[in-house]
Amino acid sequence: MDNRTSRYDFTIIVPVYNEQENLPELEKALSGFLPECIMKTCVLFVDDGSKDASLEGIKRVCSRNKDFFYISFEKNSGLSAALKAGIDHTESKYLGYMDADLQTTPEDFNLLLAEIEGCSMVIGIRSDRKDSYSKRMQSRIANSFRRIMTGDGAVDTGCPLKVLRTDAAREIPLFKGMHRFLPALILLQEGGSYRQVPVRHFPRKAGKSKFHLGNRLWGPFADCFAYRWMRSRYIRYKVAEDSTKF
């Protein structure tokens, strides 16, 4: 069957978990952005087994917007799983990712898309963050430790605004927690590269954050060692000759 995202140049993946209160503003922001995007764009919601009315809300939103689509999980599987599912179900040349909490704006995708030519990924850097001091400090510590462990040079991997070439995204080995390591994982690829672009950041207006000390700080620490193990065993090869093609 035809995947409808193949009719577009860019797909925005939006993982959703218990965000029913944010859906009206999210619909307004995304539907307003699509006509202004520098590429022909669609939206793909991934409902991560929400326990509130998010899935019903997503279905209503998609019924009102011809460029909006969705997939849903049987049960909650986590952000990395939702991101992987979005990648697996996207067939546009480029894909992007943003959170449903609207602490970043889809309007800034144009800033990232303007830089995607010639590289595998462009990631946002949240400027003038509107989070609490505690959250900012936890994020700063986690980012510093990750940079030391991975050497990826990324300033803000927690920024939920990213754009990737879909072919590069499909090669990323995603496991639980690995969404934090997208720059490092991209650099493992032959010729993989990324750029960083400042984007705006806003306070959360509704709903509750899904992150806390455990998954913002201690989880990433443990995941750094998992990444180091995987990096040492990452498979790279170049085919010299191939007689299967004619």
Q: What is the pLDDT of residues 177-205, one digit of tens each?
A: 777 788 888 998 989 999 999 999 887 77
* Structure confidence at residue 236 as a pLDDT band (50, 70, 90): confident
239 part of a folded domain: no
197 part of a folded domain: yes
What CATH number does residue 104 fall under?
3.90.550.10
CB 41 within 8 A of CB 9: yes
What proportion of the chain, given as a percentage, has pLDDT over 70? 80
231 part of a folded domain: no
117 part of a folded domain: yes
Instruction: Give the structural domain span for 41.
Output: 4-130+157-172+190-207
Residue where the block lists tokens 């993989």 = 192
143 part of a folded domain: no
- For residue 140, which phi and psi values (nearest 5 degrees)? -65, -45
Rounded Cα distance, 122 and 57, in Å: 30
Of 140, 137, 149, 153, nearest in space to 187 by CA: 153
- Predicted TM-score (pTM) of the model is 0.82
- In the chain, the DSSP E strands lie at 10-16, 41-47, 68-72, 94-97, 121-126, 162-165, 194-199
Q: Which amino acid is located at 168 in the chain? A: A
242 part of a folded domain: no
Both tokens of 66, joined, read 């011809």
Q: What is the CA radius of gyration of the chain?
A: 18
In this predicted structure, what is the pLDDT of residue 186?
A: 92
167 part of a folded domain: yes
Count structural domains, the chain.
Answer: 1
